[in-house]
Amino acid sequence: MDALYIVTTSVVLDDQMRQLAFQDDVRITLTAAEILTVAVVAARYFQNHHERALSVMIQLGYIPRLSMSRFNRRLHQLMGQVRRLSSSIRSLLPRASLYLIDTFPLPVCKRVRQRRCRKARSERFLGRCEAKREWFFGYKLHWCCDAAGIPMAFTLRPARRHERSAVSLLLSHLPVGATAVGDAAYVSRKRADFWQQRGIRLVARHFPWMAPNTEEEKELLQKRQIIETVHSQLESMGVQRLRARTRSGFCLKVICSLLALLIVHLLPD
């Protein structure tokens, strides 16, 4: 663990909670910012294993002693604040002009156990990852980041839902004049014209029967490797092997993983 990362996370979360006018209960011994710090550190260094991260941080003296059951209750009470925190912290970083869009599979269980899974209950959660040429049961993380790998926007959708159902939500968070680079599954001619009128340019690898990409578009498509690098960082955080009993707990760990990536870019050089 990096002490600088832990301290920076605690300070940033505490400052942003104050900016959001969040008030802790006067009876508590552990603030909301400290609870969220444990969750973010767990994502960053312990593959989202909350109990292990809580135990280590107590032993190192970062936080006072707290039971695991009490920690889980406090953390789930802050579910609504985590999304607001992500947007608030993102505003501290400079806006870019180039953004990359992609999909990341998030299995919730093995396919043989899908009938007993409580986090996802229907065939709409059965999807296919074309990159790995395999089927999985769970969600797809549709998200975009800038050229520095900073997460900009995201949404979780059932695995069977097509990518085009999420692209409008992602593009609505981008500034006017931005360029978004993604797979062909995200882009259609109608959608590209629609967003071009709103000042956002969509670039994707064209199908063989479409007009070929220009040299500029080919250079932009090469930068899609940046988001693949961030995918490997998410894999190292264990987001494809998350253990959670509820759907809200699963989503909470995914958001904390993206929040952990976001805070990395706030560290001093």
- The pLDDT assigned to 42 comes to 95
User: Rounded mean pLDDT of 141-159?
Assistant: 88
Q: Half-sphere exposure (CA, 13 Å, Cβ side) for 147?
A: 13
The CA distances from residue 129 to 22, 103, 119, 162, 209, in Å, are 40, 9, 20, 12, 24
Q: Which residue has the higher pLDDT, 264 or 268?
A: 264
Lookup: tokens for 113: 């156990």
Using only C-alpha atoms, the chain has a radius of gyration, in whole angstroms, of 20
How far is the C-alpha of 38 from the C-alpha of 126, rounded, in Å?
32
Average pLDDT for the chain? 86
Q: Which residue has the higher pLDDT, 192 or 74?
A: 74
What secondary structure does DSSP assign to 50-114, as a single string? Answer: HHHHHHHHHHTTSS----HHHHHHHHHHTHHHHHHHHHHHHTTSPP-SEEEEEEEEEEEE-GGGG
Task: Please give the span between the terminal C-alpha atoms of the chain, in angstroms, as a whole number.
Answer: 17
- Of 146, 148, 204, nearest to 173 by C-alpha is 146
| pTM for the structure as a whole | 0.88
How far is the C-alpha of 204 from the C-alpha of 221, rounded, in Å?
7
Lookup: tokens for 126: 């059965």
Highest mean pLDDT among 82-86, 181-185, 222-226: 82-86
- Of 213, 39, 250, nearest to 138 by C-alpha is 250
- The pLDDT assigned to 206 comes to 67
Asked whether the predicted pLDDT for residue 53 surpasses 90, the reply is yes
The CA distances from residue 189 to 51, 54, 99, 174, 234, in Å, are 48, 49, 19, 19, 31
What residue ranges define each of the domains in the chain, with the CATH number in brackets? 3-90 (no CATH), 98-236 (3.30.420)
State pLDDT tens for residues 102-127: 888 999 988 888 888 878 888 888 88
Band (209; pLDDT cuts 50, 70, 90): very low
- The pLDDT assigned to 58 comes to 93
- The pLDDT assigned to 6 comes to 93
- The pLDDT assigned to 223 comes to 80
State pLDDT tens for residues 54-95: 999 999 999 998 899 999 999 999 988 888 888 888 888 888
